Chain A
Amino acid sequence: MLSIIRLLSQRVALGLLSLFAVSVIIFLAVEMLPGDLAEAMLGQSATADTVAAFRAQLGLDQPPLQRFIGWMGGILQGDFGVSLANGREIGELVSTRLGNTLRLAGLAALISVPVAVLLGMLAALYRNSWFDRMLNTTALSTVSFPEFFVAYILILVFSVQLGWLPSIANITPEDSWLTVLERSMLPVITLSLVVIAQMMRMTRAALINLLSSPYIEMARLKGIKKSRIIYYHALPNALAPIITVVALNLAYLVVGVVVVEVVFVYPGLGQLLVDSVAKRDIPVVQACSLIFAVTYIALNTSADVLAIATDPRLMHPRS
């Protein structure tokens, strides 16, 4: 058991280290953007003195290192600072948006992960059949189209022609969950279509890779049914690569929603990020980027941890 704990703590420590590195990069990247909020807000006609005074008021005149320490210190205490654009607490601003984004991502994950793994298993079971080929072709086509294209096609079919679903997902906190579900449907389907393909293909490949193992041959020689060979003998041993690709796609669901949110006018974190970049609201941009980074690193670290945990050699040591 000791080796497991050591492995896990190593992974977590590595995750934290990456997080710190990412926070530094986010800060530096924003730092390198030309212009700042003071210039943007005051417009081109502002005098240098006004801009300088405004900068001092916003704290932009301090050296970068000091600002970084102040920023990090605040975040560690749960204080993301204040939006420069409208003076609201960033924590508050971000939390509803993050909730919306997580709900969208969660719904998409709930649909896409089981569907992808199931389709992957079926494709492996009926490999090289017409069913497998059709599935692969469809999967490849859906990933090949850009998300906004898929989104507009879905809108055209389901909103414009059939009129089943609303084309705009501008939910508010007052809406009932049924309304929320109805309005989120098209963005959820769009996101699912994008991520299912990769997860399905990886599941299929991981399973097929194992089918030449001696223990699979043994199962066949024991007269075990093909479907059982796939889910009982191959799947448990293919979990590690599948978990990895699922985590990557879940991370994408949170981080990569920007385009989908914009298309459907969904009030999520991605849209907030886009708006804030346009307004040069640097603290909000930093906060959003950091939240995305945390999601990404947390999901990948948990994937590592889970992949380790599926190894029977580690879970059931020799003595």
Chain B
Amino acid sequence: MNTKTNNDNKDVLLEIRDLRIAGHCDDEWHEIVKGIDLTLHRGEILGLIGESGAGKSTLGLAAMGYCKDGCKITGGEILFDDKDLARCSEEELRKLRGVRIAYVAQSAAASFNPSHRLIDQHVEAALQHGVSDKAKARAEAIELYRSLNMPDPEHIGERYPHQVSGGQLQRAMTAMAMACRPDIIVFDEPTTALDVTTQIEVLASIRAVVEKFGTAALYISHDLAVVAQMADRIMVLRHGKLVEEAETRKMLAAPEEAYTQSLWAVRLFSTNQKAQPETEVPLVEVRNVSAGYGAKQILEDVSFNVYKGQTVAVIGESGSGKSTTARVISGLLTPSTGSVLYNGEELPGDYRKRPREMLRKVQMIYQIPDTAINPRQTIGDIIGRPMKFYHGHKDAVVRRKVKELLALVELEPDRYIDRRPSELSGGQKQRICIARALAAEPDFIICDEVTSALDQLVAEGILKLLTRIQEKFGVSYLFITHDVATVRAIADQIVVMQQGRVVDNGSREAIFTPPHQEYTDLLLSSEPEMDPDWLDGILGRRAMASAG
């Protein structure tokens, strides 16, 4: 990626000066963006990076003169085209949006209207703003679909959003943003919801098309490695303030601020791999399991073992059957053939037929802590419930034990025990879920994408906590994830799944040491690296491989 050094004033497309945005919450206005300056040059891609709550999306939307409901611009200027967007009328802004500045949202599935065909939504802005006529707009749409490497570009636009895959939808959204050839596109985490192997293709398409039209972009992401591939320049944001700003290569080579360095260091955390016992009976054995929903077969002949005190990571893309495997082990889904053995004994397929003592030994932690805990109960009730249910403890005992667990998951017991989940952050809620799983005193915990919804630093904290708990209590984990970095950090054994089958299985060292099995290689090599030349490199290698 070319690094642009031209800071000539003529080239400045968008200039934000001392922008302040406040959000309304609990009858008070809180400042979300606290005086940020930003300059975007023609044809430049500026990366905005930070954790959730850093104000990067708010800033991105503000570049379009847009504030979410309950937010307002309280100060500063947004200069574009000799206008101050912070002071423009709604009608003036409307005429800019979609034409001069366009937006690509995180979840394409939610951001396309389910009731209309893709191409009708694509051409809508061009027709409504009078930029183009219908025939021309449709022809251009098909051209864009082709430029973005979408399959069957002639006809894919006739489909409804639910009829195309997530990766294709994200490309269709990028195409839609391009419809009126805007000067600026705001990309708001466009690949966060995608699998790594899909992400790499979407990233390549986005970059190619942005380069082709010389479009300037604000590229918002929490993933440094992704931003490194896309951006010429990076701004690191935290708590609504700028932490550090530099050209991509410079920032990657020598981050100056401590916070930026900590973002870099996240990926360095790693446990020591524990050797697999040779003779011991496995704690959990999944033996030749096939399962599905109705006539739809999901799992086919899945087998693997989990030994005591070990972490087995199941990795694969969405739809590979990871979570279905977890449902079979926990008894929520009865396998059509095959069985699950616990300490060498076969378990009934249906959890209702398993004894309570057995249920106690296998606990689950879910991806989204918000939906996994009852918002109307206090933390004490949530964690205390398994103690009463499985162990029949009295109230006083329960309260004491809940406090012990809260201390264990690093939440101040007296401060949190009587609170409700809504007062907690995402990472804190996940800690509550961990404490609840531990309250049953299990031998085996299934962690289903437990860090996927969390910021990198918070996720790292959770991984460290889980590791410490394993060392202390000797529990085994089945760690379901799509994230290669997480697997690299904590797995003892790795099971790679693809389309309902186990395609690779071995110790962490064996899996991560080349030569890889073909699909494992695709998965591992698709994980973005901090090197800004990584995307070009991997695309080049793959092109060579397919050509030769």
Contact = CB atoms under 8 A, between A and B. Distances in A.
Given A220-B97, A223-B95, A233-B113, A316 B160 contact: yes
Nearest to B99: A223
Interface string B466-508: 0000000000000000000000000000000000000000000
A318 B99 contact: no
A267 B108 CA distance: 57
A225 B64 CA distance: 16
Instruction: Pick the most buried of A218, A225, A228, A237: most chain B CB atoms within 10 A of its CB.
Output: A218
A312 interface: yes
B112 interface: yes
Which residue of B99, B111, B115, B163 has the most chain A CB atoms within 10 A of its CB atom? Answer: B115
A251 to B, nearest CB: 27
Interface in B80-138: 93-99, 102-103, 105, 107, 110-116, 124-125, 128-129
Contacts, number: 77
Contacts of B114: 215, 237, 312-313
B66 A221 contact: yes
Contact of A313 (B64, B124, B125, B162): B162
A318 B163 contact: yes
Given A215-B110, A218-B111, A236-B116, A223 B163 contact: no
A92 interface: no
Interface in B50-70: 61, 64, 66, 68-69
B94 to A, nearest CB: 5
B85 to A, nearest CB: 13
B125 A222 contact: yes
A318 B162 contact: yes
B124 A316 contact: no
Contact of A223 (B98, B107, B162): B98
B94 A223 contact: yes
B69 A223 contact: no
A218 B170 CA distance: 13
Contact of A221 (B64, B112, B113, B128): B64
Given A214-B105, A313-B162, A316-B163, A223 B128 contact: yes
A45 interface: no
B14 to A, nearest CB: 16
A259 to B, nearest CB: 40
B129 A223 contact: yes
Interface in A213-250: 213-215, 217-225, 228, 232-233, 236-237
Sort chain B's interface into a size bin: 20 to 34
Contact of B96 (A220, A223, A225, A233): A223
Contact of B105 (A218, A224, A237, A318): A218
A212 interface: yes
Nearest to A211: B69
Contact of A224 (B98, B160, B162, B176): B98
Highest count of chain B CB atoms <10 Å: which of A220, A237, A313: A220
A318 B113 CA distance: 16
Given A218-B103, A221-B66, A223-B99, A312 B110 contact: no
Nearest to B129: A223
A224 B128 contact: yes
A219 B95 contact: no
Contacts of A318: 162-163
Contacts of B93: 223
Nearest to A216: B113
A236 B97 contact: no
B294 to A, nearest CB: 11
Given A312-B160, A313-B162, A224 B69 contact: no
Interface in B407-460: none
Contacts of A228: 128
A212 B530 CA distance: 36
Contacts of B112: 215, 218
Interface in B132-163: 159-160, 162-163
A309 to B, nearest CB: 12
A224 B176 CA distance: 14
A222 B64 CA distance: 10
B66 A220 contact: yes
Contacts of A225: 94, 128
19 contacts: A212-B69, A214-B105, A217-B68, A218-B103, A219-B124, A221-B103, A223-B95, A223-B98, A223-B128, A225-B94, A225-B128, A236-B113, A236-B116, A237-B115, A312-B114, A312-B162, A313-B114, A316-B163, A318-B162
Pairs A-B, 10 closest by C-beta atoms: A223-B97, A222-B98, A236-B115, A223-B98, A214-B110, A221-B103, A222-B125, A218-B111, A215-B113, A214-B111
Interface of A: 212-215, 217-225, 228, 232-233, 236-237, 312-313, 316, 318
Given A221-B98, A228-B128, A236-B116, 15 more contacts: A213-B110, A218-B111, A219-B113, A221-B61, A222-B128, A223-B95, A223-B96, A223-B98, A223-B129, A224-B124, A237-B115, A312-B115, A312-B162, A316-B162, A318-B163
